Amino acid sequence: MISKKEIPQWKLEEIDYLIDQLKNNKTIAIIDTRTVKDKQIQEIRKVLREKAVIRMSKKNLQIRAIEQYKKESKKSNLDDLIKNIPGQSALVFTNLTAYELKKIFSDNVWRIAIKPDSITPIDVWVLAGDTGLPTGQVISELNMTLKLPTRIQNETIWIREDTKTHKAGDFVDVKQAAVLKKLGIKPIESTIKIFYAWHDGEIIPSDVLYMDMEAFQRDFLIAYFTAKKLAIELGIVDKETIEPMIQKAYREAIELLFETSIFDTSMTENYVKKAVTSANALNSIIFGGTTTPEKEK
């Protein structure tokens, strides 16, 4: 008989720890650690102290913990959470909302070096001043690889003037990336992003979490006013359309009254205004002038 392989104690303890965090927090966020530096995780842990727990575990342990929690809690959408755990990930446990957590991540920006053999999304500048690098072979790397204007001063290499080495969209090869790193150039802004989130049964994918709210509000207002205008034209009455429909009906009634031979004393001022407007239009056509009613003496 083939015996079952015994599960190591540390794995059981890790699963128990994850289940405990699932029980005590309403929000679980997934971070794809392939795009995050270890230093960033260490720094953000300090920021989130007493607010959230970041746990880096093996994917199979994360899945086992969530599956067991699902059986015990009967919470919904945990299967979707499992499906969206990438190969290398960390789970964030917190009672903050996913949007509050996202804001904390977005407010903490790190500067990182450009990866070798990659496209730079921004212009790359090397500023004038002392590089701190000693003279020697490195000066030829600065001159040949990045075409930087240099000079020697106090036995170190100086950059003579601010120089743009790459513009946005340029390819940065291995040599160029290495020299930029040697100079301490870290032009890329990096933030920790939530790959997927679950809040007390509600799934929040990243495209919703990072939605452009200004654009959304603008599109929402356009849709609202378009729908309202259409409802007024169709004569659909509700609390949003009743007032503008009454105003529209009043204007149309006034226009109709002007077209008939009926005289209403309450409309005397409107008749005078219409007559003056018509006279001005006629006078402008014939004489190029305007007519204004005489003021009462």
Q: Are residues 54 and 196 in the same domain?
A: yes
Distance of CA 282 to the CA centre of its chain: 57
163-222 pLDDT per residue, tens: 999 999 999 999 999 999 999 999 988 889 999 999 999 999 988 888 866 766 787 788
**98 falls within a domain:** yes
Give tens-digit pLDDT for 125-174: 999 999 999 988 888 889 999 999 999 998 899 999 999 999 999 999 99
Is position 297 within any domain? no
Q: What is the amino acid identity at position 29?
A: A
The CATH number that applies at residue 58 is 3.30.70.1730
**Which domain covers residue 152, as residue numbers?**
118-188
Q: Which of 154, 179, 211 is the last residue of a domain?
A: 211
The yes-or-no verdict on residue 4 having pLDDT over 70 is: no
Q: Does pLDDT of 86 surpass 70? A: yes
Residue type, 1: M
Q: pLDDT averaged over the chain? A: 86
**Are 122 and 88 contained in the same domain?**
no
Residue 97 belongs to a domain: yes
Q: How many domains does the chain have?
A: 3
Residue that has been written with the tokens 């004489």 in this structure: 287
Q: Same structural domain for residues 20 and 166? A: no
In a domain, 167, yes or no: yes
Residues 6+ away with beta carbon under 8 Å from 152? 135, 139, 158
Same domain, 23 and 102: yes
Would you place residue 3 in the very low, low, confident or very high pLDDT band (cuts 50, 70, 90)?
very low
Residues 6+ apart with CB under 8 A from 282: none
Q: Is residue 3 in some structural domain?
A: no
This prediction has a pTM of 0.63
Tell me the CATH number at 128.
3.90.105.20
